[in-house]
Chains A and B, each alone.
Chain A
């Protein structure tokens, strides 16, 4: 099955800095790569996703890059704001439709 590793586990930045979180997966057949944001007391919220035929996707301050050869994809947040503080999860699907395999999460803290 899919093995997912996520780094770092915690990340503290100053407001305005950039943040990068990396996710490594094992299943070379994976073709869908989402990132979720989870705020306290809430469910995960999809913030950006990418498919295997694309190397990079950007949505305002958030971007995802994919390296299929090395089997990793990364979340990039630029110009961070305090409201970006949350736990971020990568969750590529394992064997099965949307049978997500969540990484262990990265707690991002953005200080004003």
Chain B
């Protein structure tokens, strides 16, 4: 597609439940990134992929967060045993090697 598609738009989970977010990158883009936006203006890099391979995972809280990009499937970000502080908007972005990042509209995760 011509835009990064993220689903769902909104996700509500009780504390301790699992949350799974999906991202379809722009067709032809080989790099996928996940960012977390909290408190409206604070962005945090989580993880990036080159095709199905993890490229950089230095931002991932590894205990409860995991991510995958499998061939012919949307990429996914999964949070096991969600906590209140996981409430944020999660953005996916994609690019090819030209470095211009294109972001999706995000998934708003609310943990109650």
- Which A residues have a C-beta under 8 Å from some C-beta of B? 32, 34, 36, 41-46, 49, 87, 89, 91, 94, 96-102, 104-105
Contacts and interface: CB of A to CB of B under 8 A. Distances in A.
A99 B91 contact: no
Contacts of B43: 89, 91, 100, 102
B65 interface: no
Nearest to B91: A43
Contacts, number: 58
Interface stretch (B11-19, B67-75, B77-85, B93-101): B93-101
B101 A100 contact: yes
Interface of B: 4, 31, 33, 35, 40-43, 45, 48, 55-56, 58-59, 91, 93, 95, 99-106
Contact of A43 (B55, B99, B105): B105
B101 A97 contact: no
B106 A43 contact: yes
A43 B64 CA distance: 25
B103 A99 contact: no
Contacts of A32: 99
A89 to B, nearest CB: 7
Given A34-B100, A87-B41, 14 more contacts: A36-B103, A43-B93, A46-B102, A89-B43, A97-B31, A97-B48, A97-B56, A97-B99, A98-B48, A98-B99, A100-B35, A100-B45, A100-B101, A101-B45
